[in-house]
Structure 1
Amino acid sequence: MKDIMLADTPIEQRAQILRDSCDQIEERSYTRKFEQEEINDLRAELANVSIQIQTLDNDLADIRADFKGKTKPLQERVGKILDELKSGGEYVKGECFKFIEPDTGEVGWYSPEGYLLESRAMKPEEKQRTAFQTLRRTGTDN
Structure 2
Amino acid sequence: MKNEKKGMSDIMLADVPIEKRAQILRDSCDQIEEKHYTRKFEQAEINERREELAEVSIQINGLHQELKEINADFKGRIKPKEERRGRILDELKSGGEYVKSECYKFIDADLGKVAWYTPDGYKLEERDINQEEKQRTTFQAFRRTGTDN
TM-score if structure 1 supplies the norm length? 0.70
- Corresponding residue for residue 79 of structure 1: 86
* 1:57 aligns to 2:36 (yes or no): no
Of the candidates 113, 117, 138, which is equivalent to residue 110 of structure 1? Answer: 117
Alpha carbon RMSD of aligned pairs, Å? 3.3
Residue 60 of structure 2 is aligned to residue 32 of structure 1: no
Question: Residues 5-59 of structure 1, C-alpha deviation per residue, up to 9 Å, x if partnerless?
Answer: 2223221111122223322222222222222221211111111111111112212
How far apart in 2 are the matches of 1:68 and 1:100? 51
- CA distance in 1 between counterparts of 2:81 and 2:36 reads 57
> CA contact under 8 A between 1:97 and 1:109: conserved in structure 2?
yes
How high is the sequence identity, in percent, across the aligned residues? 67
- The alignment status of 1:132 with 2:139, answered yes or no, reads no
Match of 1:132, SS?
coil
Contact 1:84–1:90 (CA<8 Å) still a contact in 2? yes
* AA at the equivalent of 1:27: E
Q: What is the aligned partner in structure 1 of residue 96 from structure 2? A: 89
Q: How many residues align?
A: 139
Provide the residue aligned with 2:4 in structure 1: none
Separation in 1 of the partners of 2:103 and 2:61? 60
Instruction: Structure 2 unaligned segments of length 5 or more: list them.
Output: 1-7
How many angstroms apart in 2 are the aligned matches of 1:8 and 1:104? Answer: 120
Distance in 1 between residues matched to 2:67 and 2:59, nearest whole Å: 12
TM-score (norm 2): 0.67
Q: Secondary structure at the match of 1:117?
A: strand
- Alpha-carbon deviation of 1:115? 0.8
